[in-house]
Amino acid sequence: MTSLKLADHCGRLLAQLADAEPRLHVLDGDLADSDGAIHVAMRHPERFVMAGIAEQSMVSVAAGMAEAGLLPWVFSFAAFLCYRAYDQIRICLSQAVQPVTLVGSHAGGLSGRNGKSHAAPNDLALMLSLPNLHVWSPGDCLDVELAVRTILAAPAPTYLRCPRTPLDEHRGLPGAAAALRWLAPRRPVTLVSTGLASHWALAAARHLGEAGHDVGVLHCLRLRPLPALADELQGVRSLFVIEDHATFGGLASLVHGLGLSAAITALGWPGDYSGKSGADAQLLAAHGLTGGLLAHSIASALTATSRRRD
């Protein structure tokens, strides 16, 4: 069974699409064999720039390339790209509105043996706070393909967030790729999720169903521009936002800002979590983010709400 990191799938797709798009160039921060950029380097070496461990310079160079009419894509681990080069992203991309796409691999709170220095559990808080920056958070390969093709069709300053966790062929999300789609039909109690966490949400929904709780699951692939999320959530009574991100500054904060009448509960990495070395299953279990533990938290919250109403 083949497992593939989403950033790696992005690199493979870009290498193919570059055949017909001569403006497409890729820059990488000395991680091409880990973040997917290696595929462009192998197929189009003349349009690949190994920038070394110099993320700030790499983003500045990409902005200059965009100003010259090229379509640069910048690859690195999210922890290095978003944090080390944040001022360059703020000035050269966000404020200058340069069509550079940032591919942040290894995003979120699961960094494997690399530990907290390589984790990025609050990258969305940084990227979503910048004006003019589009943000995508794919949960499977179909999501990546939709995001990449959409970005190339209408270039803009963009952050494409990809988890480290490899996803095998049996871990795709249901249905055709769309910026916003129901993975399970809308219900008065609905789980809203993005990226890798949509797999957690589906697992939680299965556990809840076995316990007699019928819940909807809504996957949000694009966080900016935000799709018609408020329209989709009309009539929902209780919302549980599940994400591979801190509970503040990401999708939960966007949902809170919609002004919905539903009760909203954020489920993600706690605010004092900066990452830790360990297997995915261990880290998820330690922070209540496995399907079973999420289902338990949601069921407990629903029971408590029901008692208050009685």
Nearest to residue 239, comparing CAs of 224, 221, 227, 251? 251
Which one of 21, 46, 55, 210 is the catalytic residue? 55
Cα–Cα distances (Å) from 295 to 109, 121, 202, 269, in that order, read: 20, 22, 10, 16
The pLDDT of residue 35 is above 60: yes
Mean pLDDT of 208-221: 97
Average pLDDT (190-208) is 98
180-309 — its CATH code? 3.40.50.920
The confidence band for 12, taking pLDDT boundaries of 50, 70 and 90, is: very high
Residue 1 has a pLDDT of 45
Tell whether the model's pLDDT for residue 125 goes beyond 80.
yes
Task: Write out the residue limits of the CATH 3.40.50.920 domain(s) in the chain.
Answer: 180-309
What is the maximum alpha-carbon separation in the chain?
A: 69
21 is catalytic: no
Answer CATH for 3-168 from 2.60.120.260, 3.20.20.140, 3.40.50.970, 3.20.20.410: 3.40.50.970
CATH 3.40.50.970 positions along the chain are 3-168
pTM of the predicted protein model: 0.96
